[in-house]
Chains A and B, each alone.
Chain A
């Protein structure tokens, strides 16, 4: 290996915005420990869109919670922007959950502004920022609506806006479109890419939809169950920006089938 190559390798890992190593996790339950993850390493560089796919129960959500600092793993280390940390890092890491998790007694605007309120930013400032973000996710006219007055897709947009208001270096998303119908899901994926082109931070996106993973990502992490582990890291070298028609190209289908075979072979 030549010296320049070595250096390139080193800068790439050093640059990882978020990284976990040697992650081991079991849930403690009344019926004894339930193993969820075994020896998982994962890192994501700046401005990378990384998806995690795998069968249900393989520990995707657990891994994301560990990345978010919401679950403390049984063993292993977590680095955010190079620093070894535990617990949530609201200035650097934001999370959007599958069920949008909006506060039902707050309007869309107040939900989006909530992270800034927790940081005790002045009201005028946080409302201006929240409006700006609502506009960005296409909900400019819905600031005063309450979550139950919004459709599932709109609630999810509010949740994304709320995560983005934290200006996170890393955005973690756990099947954010999992509860939506297929059409809305495609629209949301397309919009997420458009939004991401603008913000261009690091995204870690959990999904069980392989086409969605290929369409969105720079790389896809394939996981397997029992024990929950990473089996492969697939680079998605499709050009950007990606129009929806890309999903019909041979290359796209090839990548999707490759992921499919990888998951099948583990069962």
Chain B
């Protein structure tokens, strides 16, 4: 039928984006970003010198790096407590959030729990950390527990809403084709909800990182980068404080970029086209 071919031709034409053009635009974007970062670093170095501000508060980049080198071994020793707490809390928050979100999202009778978790999202959970640290001591366990609590809420909420927003028609047509409850979950619900779920993981990941650092800053005996930041602040070692902040920023960047890449990948997969391969 000629009309069909015509329509198809137009559609595919509309989708086709010439590859080289995309490539260069991505490259210029990256170039701009690097330029902005370089400019900021230069400002960091130059502005404090020009201002000749008291060195206890504002220090140039080079002084921060020197302080970092001086304090190298305590900083390296603090990496593992922070990193391991983040990883454990991420695992817990993601697992519980995804499973809980799927259970709540698929059963209408549990929907009311969403309201409770939604309210929890608005409460500044930091207030419970002192309690947790009294019950469990200020070590790794209380850190992981608090960060998990902090991170699980957005994962659970987004997963549940992702599952609920799956098209009723997909569900119904899979049922009519004889899908078992298990097949419905693995072949329809999970792939359909995946892009939303991954964006929830990203949100929760950010909160877990914040929570771990905050715990460490609040409790001087818990160890980790946050504790170190507080210690250097008390010692008026501004250079080392800045260096530690850089380390935390690096953590955040690596995590966010990784999840962002996964998110794009998943979103790309669910809308994959022949003329437009997933970038990367």
Contacts and interface: CB of A to CB of B under 8 A. Distances in A.
Interface of A: 65, 68-70, 88, 90-91, 93-95, 97, 99, 101, 103-105, 114-115, 117-119, 138, 142, 144-146, 148-151, 153-154, 162, 166, 183-184, 187, 191
A115 B178 contact: yes
A8 B4 CA distance: 45
Contacts of B180: 118
B4 A104 contact: no
A193 to B, nearest CB: 14
The interface residues of chain B, by DSSP majority, are classed as: helix
A153 B4 contact: yes
Contacts of B176: 68-70, 88, 90, 93-95
9 contacts: A90-B178, A103-B170, A103-B188, A105-B269, A114-B177, A115-B178, A142-B8, A148-B273, A154-B7
Interface in B1-54: 1, 3-4, 7-8, 11-12, 15
A117 B191 CA distance: 16
Contacts of A146: 271-273
Interface string B167-203: 1011011111111100100011001100000000000
Contacts of B257: none
A150 B274 CA distance: 12
A69 B176 CA distance: 8
B4 A138 contact: yes
A149 B10 CA distance: 10
Contacts of B170: 101, 103
A77 B15 CA distance: 49
Contacts of A101: 167, 169-170, 172-173
Contacts of A105: 191-192, 269-272
Contacts of B271: 104-105, 146, 148
A94 B273 contact: no
With most chain B CB atoms within 10 A of its CB, the pick from A90, A103, A117, A166 is: A103
Contacts of A118: 174, 177-180, 183, 187
A103 B191 contact: yes
